[in-house]
Structure 1
Amino acid sequence: MSEAEENARIIALTLALEGIRVAEPGAAVKRYISVSNSAIQLLDGTEIPLKGRVYVVGAGKASGGMAQAVEEILGDRVAGGVVAVPEELVGKYSLKKIKLVGATHPRASQKSVEAGRLVLETVSNLSEEDVVIALFSGGGSALLEYPVEGVTIDEIGDLSILLMKRGADIFELNTVRKHLSRIKGGWLARHSQPATVLTLMISDVVGDRMDTIASGPTVPDPTTFKDAYAVLTRYSVWDEAPESIRKYIEKGLQGLAPETPKPDDPVFLKVINRVIASNIQSLEAMAAKAREMGYAPLILTSMLEGEAREVGKVIASIVKEVRRTGNPLPPPLALLIGGETTVTVKGGGIGGRNQELALSLAIYLKGVKGVAVACLGSDGRDGPTDVAGAVVDGSTYEKAISMGLRPEEFLEENDSYEFFKEVGGHIKTGYTGTNVNDFVVAVIEEI
């Protein structure tokens, strides 16, 4: 590895960590809400009268930090609440009125169902003067669940994993999950009636669609049972789905099971939904940091999608164009990209979308000088692994070959974790306590 590549690696990681820092959930909440003697005031000027009790509910990798900030802002006005977080984060926060419940991610479990039961208990039997503050972020779909009658959490988990392995994106996955839940897809808003509901969201969804963040528990659901059935057939999993799930969706298709609350439902008249942190906000902060460090920043998109290995080809082509012609901007340059790719699992290896993207980049940036690319999840976890992602440069491929390893074989087996374990390049942050999708930072040095 040359000095230019080593420096590019350091810069890429520094910028990625800046994106995580800006998405810190407590700071996001404090930027967005304040309180007077008589009302909660939002950044956009909206006021919510404080006449009754205030309860806090939620779920997600960032919801613990959000809950702590709400307690700091509202103090004794908080009557109680329940928030579900990854089990590893339960001891991270100090809360007085709000109970943190440890649940599981990326696969929901009985702990997620228990969290769902406690949340529904919390919002039941409220008055018109009460306020529910709902806090949701990435991971909320798995951490908080209450299945429809006759369907088990393990059946939903098996189906979710199968859909992810077949390449279903988050919108498609949540379309199915919302129609198997009594808490997602607007149902939490209905259970909270007649209280006022204020939902604060940290977005892990490309395009910041509120109905998809944590599967939209307080947001109108535009999807239907017909859409859920279409997803299951599109990815050829209908026949593999548990019989209980097929029967319930068939009931929904026949109008014998209740549809999720739709946009014209009066239940949403007293619901206020707001996104308070997102991928694009982090990318903008990363761009400012790049300028400070002497690199021209270029935000390519906050809406990156596609198969990770194919996206790697595209990003590599842009990096090579910069190196060869100086287009669209000459070095020193930091290309900043956000979003979320997918992986269609065909091999028997271990990895995640960011590691697979990085492995693809290692292959297609082979021999390119003075370049490094970091790919990582802002939550600190890439797939079912203990790392956030990986960083590569133009010499990563040759290093692997010199060790007797063929990168293409690891990519074919979806074995990116083992590749970087052998070659080096893993990014380990631990759980960050937030989630605003993934970051790809490509640094091209002037050589």
Structure 2
Amino acid sequence: MHDIRAIRDNPEAFDAALARRGEAPMAAAVLDLDSARRERIAASEAAQAEQNKASKEVGAAKARGEEAEFERLRALVAEKKAEVAALAAEAKDLDAKLTDMLARIANAPADDVPDGADETGNVEVNRWGAPRAFGFTPREHFEIAGVAASMDFEMGAKISGSRFVVLTGAVARIHRALAQFMLDTHIAENGLTEVNPPVLVRDEAMYGTDKLPKFGDDSYQTTNDWWLVPTSEVPLTYSVAGEILEADALPIRMTAHTLCFRSEAGSAGKDTAGMLRQHQFEKVEMVSITRPEESDAEQKRMLRCAEDLLERLGLPYRTVVLCTGDMGFGARRTYDIEAWLPGQDAYREISSVSTTGDFQARRMNARFRPEPGAKPEFVHTLNGSGLAVGRCLIAVLENGQQADGSVTLPEVLAPWLGGKLTLTADGALA
């Protein structure tokens, strides 16, 4: 949510920020609504003052026996009471329209975010590892012999429909091992607190984390009005909604491994083969709540946490900073980490690490007190994948595949796989 006072003070800067995202100017429309709302509030307060004054004079007129004046004043009180009610209703309606308008306007990009219309404007800032030279044509994950029998898309479609998969046996265990490796590393080495949050949330949680009202079609809503989380960013971030935190409680660093659900609205025909783009998937999420002056450094720290996991797994990757035209609605700055998938001969996103500044905090009224007795200020919120478990499974399988259909697994997973680091061509761990 944008600060209306900042728009009043510098509408040109507000429109310039929107222009960097390819959006039309909005300051004039916002300020027109804001002005009309403030006029109704001022008029309501003036009418209330007149009502109060007339109310005091009614008794005095009656005591003096001035019947005509008494009746006039009583009629004036009734008139002003109705006027106050009407003006207050108009102000409330205008306030709701202003809030809705502001809630649908994307966050302003940070000054250092590169300008661009789409993903072609993203800028690479880091690259690690060299793609392996195969002595054969590498297959996509679902085509590898040792994987195929344990990755059942037909069963997923039978149970739930398209974009679902059933993992069984060794592949299911590798998937679980990856999640445990990520989670345990974040807890033991990266200083994150493990949280096991609900994956059904209320409207307020989705709104507070900028998923509503604009992106309701991207998520699933139950018949009794809960939302299935698109990522555990939603419950983790919303956990501080309405709070005034003490400064020494920050930063708050959390991680969670949960199911995630996305309708993939608008992605028809994209990545239909394999499990790259599913309606149900798992992620290990990172969320940080910080002081404003610490959020940029915290984003870099979170980015390294995610990159380090890929390095430990031996997966080549590149990191890009997203341009203004490719950045998410609530983000102020986003880094994407793309892992190398030899089966596709391409780098594909496996993590996004974003700072939203105070954009989400304003929506959910999450604040902190800089020092005892000081006026509360809005916190900054950050979120990042650490990592997307299914996509990480794809990368591990494709990068470790052998000519005979087996897969050599990363040594770092040994503690979670009973020391067995080969997925054989017939789908067993050895």
Tell which structure's C-alpha radius of gyration is larger. 2
TM-score norm. by structure 1 comes to 0.25
TM-score norm. by structure 2 comes to 0.26
